[in-house]
Chains A and B, each alone.
Chain A
Amino acid sequence: MIRNVLESISGIEIYPIISLLIFISFFIFIITWVVKLDKKTVSKLENMPLDDDDQSQISGRK
């Protein structure tokens, strides 16, 4: 039955192929992006949550 459903949709094979291509190109895009990131920016970005840490004495933690 499932085979029948599959065959009845014209060009169904194309869907998984499209999905794979979209995903792979997207992934390569992201990896290139990340590799190109410069260290200074990364360091600035990753310290953003800690920038305003002026309350540590309130909870008594260092």
Chain B
Amino acid sequence: MAVETFYYDNKIVRNFGFATIAWGIVGMLVGVIIAIQLYVPWLSFNLPWTTFGRLRPLHTNAVVFAFAGNAIFTGAYYSLMRLTKARMFSDTLSKIHFWGWQLIIVLAALSFVFGITTSKEYAELEWPIDILITIIWVVFAINMFGTIAKRRERHLYVAIWFYISTVITVAVLHIVNSMELPVHLLKSYSVYAGVQDALTQWWYGHNAVAFFLTTPFLGLMYYFLPKAANRPVFSYKLSIVHFWSLIFIYIWAGPHHLIYTALPDWAQTLGTVFSIALIAPSWGGMLNGLLTLRGAWDRVREDPILKFMVVGVTAYGMSTFEGPMLSIKSINAITHYTDWTIAHVHVGALGWNGFITFGMLYWLWPRIFQTKLHSVKQANLHFWIGTLGIIFYALPMYWAGLTQSLMWKEFTADGFLQYPNFLETVQQIVPMYIVRSIGGTMFLAGTCIGAWNMFKTAAAGTLLANEKAEAPALEKDFKEPQGAHWHQWLEGKAVHFTVWATVAILIGGAVEMIPMYTVKSNVPTIASVKPYTPLELEGRDIYIREGCNNCHSQMIRPFRSETERYGEYSKAGEFVYDHPFLWGSKRTGPDLHRIGGKYPDAWHYNHMDDPRLMSPGSLMPRYSWLLEDDLDTQYTATKIEVMQTLGVPYAEGYAGQALNDLKTQAEQIAANLRTQGVANADASKEIIALIAYLQRLGTDIKGNAVSQAVHK
């Protein structure tokens, strides 16, 4: 067979690499800012665009999709070309992928700042951007499968399996969870409601961690760790077991994000069981990574690349042990809604995703720029300041989570809550928030040092834009040798492989979700639960716009400590008209599901103007523009119609009447406010709608016999 000469495209690798580090700095900087805002609330400057509720999704999306996303593409493009012995399928598609992804990031950042959000965590982007993501993802997929199709290497190395499963599963997750009905260009409602929406969202959220932050990075680990250590992976057989069991089990574990919520018990149990099972493949992968270094540990002392990778893989092991533990009901009861979760995700994000990325970039840069790394000393400094940063981040957050949870649950000898005021439990952990922000700043400083090192390395060398390589082409009419095992049928053929990987992930998704969708008519409908009034619906959309769900849950768990503090625990039937659900995942502030009727209207009015007027010491930012801005009612009728399409039982033709009802209710609330001492209360302002929504929350079942389940 004639040897063919071809060229690897290093330019696209460089572009994604620089984008990784640039967005990394942006995402981490926003993280540090919101970390400081938690103890310096005035840092939002009383501006809508800079509140925690809007910046937090910006932070999470920037580090997940911009930093980690670009890192995945950097490493996947580099390794895919070398493992298939082929240039990428199309340079044009590579460019569209790169610029399209950066455009999505910029649009995402803008939309979060302007409060355009669906509220579903890590899927907050509105429908036009969702479509753009789908298109760019398909471009990536075509480019990747095209490259695999024209490969000069018959076998697919395990890293490529991880990339394939990433491409397929992220597509499935993104499309299913982003099903929404537009109201207008920048607003849509999830087609799912309440419990179903929650299950879909956390099936997505969990598997976004699995297939965006785990499988692609495992692919990177299986390529770059052997490269950096200059020896093959410890056990290739283990990597096969690792791969298949990981993708198969991961997809089932989503419901562990909804333990003790109104999600049916069987689904919660399913989530817990598969989460525990997940320890095995995760640790198989971790050990496979660490044992690859057997006999090379002396080099770990000298080589910052290996240091980054060792700590990265170790962090993966820690967080994949911790995750299953957190899904055990009794542990989840203590840790859920607290900063423990924040510590957990940051061990994974900073340690695993961050350090694998840095190790990979330090390995790549001298090679594609044909020079030595600018400074090994600086890389070591980056490693140490980053590692200390992780410790200073994680430890105080574990401490804070445990402290707050124990305080929430503490009863006096007489059977009353020891700390009935939520604020007491917040102020106790403020010192931890301060230390955490120092840890985050250290990690950011390390990233900046790394950026400088990469920049200087690039400046000192010249980019080898097209790297020459030679390999014989594959025989067109290849026949399996006699006695070849059937595994080669699967592993050598990309199409078979892709189909089976898809089947593996779909089975888990289907068994988990189908009963939830078919259960719809069986969720106990509570006769007294009615659709939101037009004004409440508008108020709910303000709640979504301001990202209140980033700090406040709407899901009271069935514990005495929670029913004492908040009221009757939340029932599945109460959320049947919630498109989208707003259960939240973190209680930086108290749960709001039973806030309705708890305080007078004027309390909310003043509290939104300045939370510290009503709750001295509160960490909540001011929302005083809500008192000044007019409520936009031009889409109220459309919103009612969209809700009707989604099955919310408003009367036929109600949309035409909605605006009148909205005004009547607004006048009523304004009149209440005036009698309660707010002399200048104006019925046309946004605050009126928000008060209407807050006062409605959780009141439907009050005074009624709870749970008049109608089973048909």
> Is B a genuine binding partner of A?
yes
* Distance in angstroms between the alpha carbons of A18 and B172 in the assembled complex: 22
Contact with A along B213-255 (1 / 0, CB 8 A): 0000000001100110011110011001100110011001000
Task: Report the bound CA distance from A38 to B491 in whole Å.
Answer: 14
A-B contacts at CB below 8 angstroms, number:
118
With an 8 A cutoff between CB atoms, is B709 at the interface?
yes
Q: Which of A35-62 contact B (CB under 8 A)?
A: 36-38, 41-42, 44-50, 52-53, 55-56, 58-62
B184 lies within 8 A of chain A by Cβ: no
Q: A5-B264, A52-B82 are in contact. Are A15 and B511 (CB under 8 A)?
A: yes
Judged by a CB distance under 8 angstroms, whether B372 is at the interface is yes
Given A15-B515, A30-B244, does the pair A49, B79 have CB atoms closer than 8 Å?
A: yes
Known: A5-B522, A58-B370. A12 touches B515 (CB 8 A): yes
Min CB distance B658 to A, Å, is: 33
Assembled-state Cα–Cα distance A4/B341 (Å): 31
A interface size (C-beta, 8 A): 42
Query: B264 touching A19 by the CB < 8 A rule?
Result: no
Partner of A16, one of B83, B266, B277, B523: B266
- Known contacts A19-B270, A38-B485, A45-B236: A8-B223 contact under CB 8 Å: no
Residues of A within 8 A of B153 (CB): 48
Q: Residue B630 at the A interface, CB < 8 A? A: no
Instruction: Give the residue name and chain of the A residue nearest to B485 (CB).
Output: A36
Chain A residue with Cβ nearest B222: A49
Pairwise interchain contact B227-A49, C-beta atoms closer than 8 A:
yes
Whether A37 and B485, one on each chain, are in contact in the complex, defined by CB atoms closer than 8 angstroms, is yes
Verify if B487 is at the interface (C-beta below 8 Å from A).
yes
> A5 and B269: CB pair below 8 A?
no
The contact string, 1 if C-beta is below 8 Å from chain A, for chain B 254-285, is 00000000001110011000000100000000
B159 within 8 A of A: yes
Whether the pair A59, B372 counts as a contact (CB closer than 8 A) is yes
Interface residues as binary, B518-529 with A (CB distance below 8 Å gives 1, 0 otherwise): 110011100000
CA distance A15 to B269 in the complex (A): 12
Q: Which residues of A contact B372 (CB under 8 A)?
A: 59-60
Please determine whether A37 and B707 come into contact, CB atoms closer than 8 angstroms. Answer: no
Cα of A19 to Cα of B524 in the assembled complex, Å: 26
A23 in contact with B266 given A1-B707, A9-B519, A34-B241 (CB within 8 Å)? no
Can you list, as one digit per residue, whether each of B668-712 has a CB less than 8 Å from chain A (1) or not (0)? Answer: 000000000000000000000000000000000000000101010
Give the CA-CA distance A56 to B227 in the complex, in Å: 10
Q: CA of A45 to CA of B153 in the docked complex: distance in angstroms?
A: 11
Whether the Cβ atoms of A58 and B366 lie closer than 8 Å is yes
Contact yes or no, B709 A4, CB < 8 A: yes
Partner of A19, one of B241, B252, B373: B252
Give 27 CB contacts A-B under 8 Å: A1-B524, A1-B572, A1-B707, A5-B523, A9-B522, A15-B270, A16-B266, A18-B511, A19-B270, A23-B249, A27-B245, A34-B241, A45-B157, A45-B158, A46-B232, A48-B153, A49-B226, A50-B226, A50-B227, A50-B232, A53-B227, A58-B370, A58-B371, A59-B366, A59-B373, A61-B230, A61-B303
Given A33-B487, A50-B226, 18 additional A-B pairs, CB 8 A? A2-B264, A2-B265, A4-B524, A5-B519, A5-B522, A9-B519, A16-B270, A19-B270, A22-B507, A30-B240, A31-B241, A33-B240, A37-B240, A42-B237, A45-B236, A49-B83, A49-B226, A56-B230
